[in-house]
A and B are shown apart, each in its own frame.
Chain A
Amino acid sequence: MGKTSDQLQGTLELLVLRTLASAGEQLHGFGIAERIKQVSAEALRVEEGSLYPALHRMNEEGWVLSEWGTSDNNRRARFYKITTKGRRRLTQLERDWARHVAAVKRVIRHA
């Protein structure tokens, strides 16, 4: 996997983990996608096809936990919540992101 692809995957992980950490409750995949869209004022739209493989990957990594429950409209859905390991990963991803943004800003200012 190339660097760009890694960064994109990292960005999706960052968005999902931050959304779950801030939500303070467990969310299903659709809820995660909708919340990212709302909070970013529709500037960011998670590619729904990429979301579920990413969630399952994060589940394997132990960053999120999943369990089946009932949604608001009374349907069975899989809900995700962030783990302690996931919070540590989130801290790391946010630090990497801040460093990346700072580097791009420096280039914009001085190049």
Chain B
Amino acid sequence: MSALSRFLNLFRSGDLEKEFDEELAFHLAQRVTANVRSGMSEQEAEVAALEQFGSVAQIKQEMWEARMMNVRFAAPLGVGIVAILCWLALVGVWRSPTPDLPERPTPIYAVKRRVPPPPPPPPPTWDEFVAKVRSYE
């Protein structure tokens, strides 16, 4: 069974449970039929089939464990896939394709020229200062 199938099994537990039930029910039905053929009554045949089979819950548990025995390989695969997807999303590799546009000259706003900051205003003269300050009035 491929690693991918094992990983997908994690998400179809309901289906697996149903399959286990169906498989075990088939076996028990076959055993009951065989027991009846060997001379048992229907009721005796059912009781004998169940006794011979053992605990259905226990068997199903063991079937689950058998199915999940390789999940230790599948789980890291899943984690790895998620990690790679996250990484792709972060670096922006996995983005929607841009349409093919005709080649255009580089727009002006794409070129930034370094403009020196304007010089500070000259300090006011004494007369200007006195004219602004009204607290002496």
Contacts and interface: CB of A to CB of B under 8 A. Distances in A.
Interface of A: 28-30, 34, 47-49, 52-54, 56-57, 59-60, 62, 71, 73, 75-78
A60 B66 contact: yes
Contact of A57 (B24, B31, B55, B66): B66
A70 to B, nearest CB: 11
A49 B54 contact: yes
Given A48-B54, A57-B69, 14 more contacts: A28-B26, A28-B27, A30-B26, A34-B34, A47-B54, A52-B23, A52-B24, A53-B65, A54-B66, A59-B1, A62-B1, A76-B26, A78-B19, A78-B23
A48 B1 contact: no
Contacts of B125: none
Contact of A76 (B22, B31, B62): B22
Residues of B in contact with A, size category = 20 to 34
A15 to B, nearest CB: 17
Contacts of A53: 59, 62-63, 65-66
